[in-house]
Amino acid sequence: MARPNLQVALDHSDLPSAIGDVVKVGAEVDIIEVGTILCLQVGAVALQSMRALFPNKVVIADTKCADAGGTVAANCQQAGADWMTVICCATLPTMVAAAKEVKEVQVELYGDWTFAQAQSWLAAGITQVIYHQSRDALLAGESWGEKDLAKVKRLIEMGFKVSVTGGLTVETLQLFAGLKVFTFIAGRGITNAADPAMAARAFKEEIQRIWE
Amino acid sequence: MARPNLQVALDHSDLPSAIGDVVKVGAEVDIIEVGTILCLQVGAVALQSMRALFPNKVVIADTKCADAGGTVAANCQQAGADWMTVICCATLPTMVAAAKEVKEVQVELYGDWTFAQAQSWLAAGITQVIYHQSRDALLAGESWGEKDLAKVKRLIEMGFKVSVTGGLTVETLQLFAGLKVFTFIAGRGITNAADPAMAARAFKEEIQRIWE
């Protein structure tokens, strides 16, 4: 089974602290994500900075784009992003317009999306989804459960490359054993650690152990 | 019947052109929106600029926030935004977290939202929604119709302050006659006009004529 990628999400509210953290962990991870908070706070310069720092890594713009997909995606691509996220309740024309401008589009699954919708994304050539435990839902006490794992499994079986995120720890990776997860995304679980590089390595080693 | 507001959406990809346009039309409109494209491209400085230029107008951050509502809203508020948008498929905790940080939250209606969800937003104290014709859907040939007007009417009857947007022209305002629309939002319909100030005034005069 292909080994899942490790992605660091930079959910900072300013560029200097994001840069300070990413230079510590960039070499350890496969994918670097400019998180929504950072996109909205800093703009395209955040993407440009990650591209300059890591010319050979995949850089993602987590715009959670809901409309004007073509323009947002063209701007992200110009700033150096490889992939870009769109929100699941965006219309199909928005997703398709975005997909024309960046290498790949990832659909962020929030709220009441359906597998019928997911099938329509596949039919339109969009093969990546991100299964999310909402940060605010986590704060409200929710967590990963059988219900989530069953949905992740079904999406993988449909043919999606499925990234998972939301409150992941090294310990929770074991929950996904046996599933062909595409990427695990961790944010503060890495960047807020006392030693971010060591935290990233701990994620990576546990991924290597489980998906050997 | 209360007269609808006029809101200009700044959907520019760079700050100088947004500033160039907004100084022409700011005095003519009630509300100034920093559009999603501009938020993502330029960051908080776009909001700070609008607040500095128009200290007494309502300034909106059209973040279409889907997660981390508290952080995104606190950042927007600090940058000078009065109101902020959230996407309809965000979880209720995300919307509520955002609503604690800015004066008002507006739910952007895209895709397959339901009136039951809308009722849950009202119950949580969120009283503004934005009824959208998706720009990409408009590009794909869709337009305002009876189906849209019926939904707008029902949302107003539920107690929402309903803003409408998407391909609006001075001519299409007549479609909404008799409806207590809260705000009409126009972007390129104003900023791309040969004379943006005159275009804004034409919208305003038509609103005054219909909702006298």
Percent of chain A's residues with pLDDT above 70: 96
Does residue B73 sit at the A interface (CB-CB below 8 Å)?
no
Q: What is the mean pLDDT of chain B?
A: 95
* pLDDT reading at B139 higher than 90: no
Residue of A nearest to B78 (CA): A41
Identify which of A117, A107, A95, A103 has the alpha carbon closest to the alpha carbon of residue B140: A95
* pLDDT reading at B1 higher than 80: no
In the three-class reduction of DSSP (H, G, I as helix; E, B as strand; rest coil), residue B55 is classed as: coil
Contact B67 A132 (CB under 8 A): yes
Determine the average pLDDT of the residues in B73-94. Answer: 96
Does residue A87 sit at the B interface (CB-CB below 8 Å)?
yes
What are the CA-CA distances from residue A99 to residues A63, A108, B10, B106, B135 (Å)? 13, 14, 24, 28, 16
* pLDDT reading at B167 higher than 90: no
- Return the CATH fold of B5-210: TIM Barrel (3.20.20)
Identify which of A171, A206, A204, A200 has the alpha carbon closest to the alpha carbon of residue A187: A200
Nearest by CB to A42, which of B43, B64, B71? B43
Determine the average pLDDT of the residues in B151-169. Answer: 96
* pLDDT reading at A134 higher than 70: no
Contact A136 B91 (CB under 8 A): yes
Contact B44 A41 (CB under 8 A): yes
Determine the average pLDDT of the residues in B82-94. Answer: 95
* pLDDT reading at B147 higher than 90: no
Determine the average pLDDT of the residues in A174-190. Answer: 95
* pLDDT reading at A139 higher than 80: no
Q: What is the mean pLDDT of chain A?
A: 95
Q: Which pLDDT belongs to residue B212?
A: 87
Contact A89 B110 (CB under 8 A): yes
Q: How far apart are CA B173 and CA B190, in angstroms?
A: 14
Residue of A nearest to B134 (CA): A67
Identify which of B175, B159, B164 has the alpha carbon closest to the alpha carbon of residue B210: B175
The residue with tokens 């959208």 is B132
Distance from CA of B113 to the nearest CA of A (A): 8
Q: Which pLDDT belongs to residue A146?
A: 84
* pLDDT reading at A140 higher than 80: no
In the 8-state DSSP scheme, what is residue B113? -
ipTM > 0.90, yes or no: yes
Question: What is the tens place of the pLDDT at every residue in B102-129?
Answer: 999 999 998 889 999 999 999 999 999 9
Residue A169 sits at φ, ψ, to 5 deg, of -125, 170
Does residue A141 sit at the B interface (CB-CB below 8 Å)?
no
Percent of chain B's residues with pLDDT above 70: 96
Q: Which pLDDT belongs to residue B145?
A: 81
Question: What is the tens place of the pLDDT at every residue in B9-49?
Answer: 999 999 999 999 999 999 999 999 999 999 999 999 999 99
Q: Which pLDDT belongs to residue A200?
A: 98
Is the CB of residue B77 less than 8 Å from the CB of residue A121? Answer: no
From chain B, the residues in CB contact with A13 under 8 A are 71, 75
DSSP-derived secondary structure for chain A:
-PPPEEEEEE--SSHHHHHHHHHHHGGG-SEEEE-HHHHHHHTHHHHHHHHHH-TTSEEEEEEEE-S-HHHHHHHHHHHT-SEEEEETTS-HHHHHHHHTTSSEEEEEE-SS--HHHHHHHHHTT--EEEEE--HHHHHTT----HHHHHHHHHHHHHT-EEEEESS--TGGGGGGTTS--SEEEESHHHHTSSSHHHHHHHHHHHHHHHT-
Determine the average pLDDT of the residues in A147-164. Answer: 96
Q: Both tokens of residue A200?
A: 């990233």
Identify which of B154, B161, B150, B170 has the alpha carbon closest to the alpha carbon of residue B103: B161
Question: What is the tens place of the pLDDT at every residue in A89-132?
Answer: 999 999 999 999 999 999 999 888 999 999 999 999 999 999 98
Distance from CA of B110 to the nearest CA of A (A): 6
Is the CB of residue A139 less than 8 Å from the CB of residue A127? Answer: no
Identify which of A97, A71, A73 has the alpha carbon closest to the alpha carbon of residue A84: A73
The residue with tokens 């800093």 is A42
Q: Which of A65, A132, A136, A139 to mutate to test the interface with B (most CBs of B within 10 A)?
A: A136
Is the CB of residue A134 less than 8 Å from the CB of residue B70? Answer: no
Question: What is the tens place of the pLDDT at every residue in A17-64?
Answer: 999 999 999 999 999 999 999 999 999 999 999 999 999 999 999 999
The residue with tokens 């739910």 is B107
Q: Which pLDDT belongs to residue B61?
A: 98
Q: Which pLDDT belongs to residue B134?
A: 62
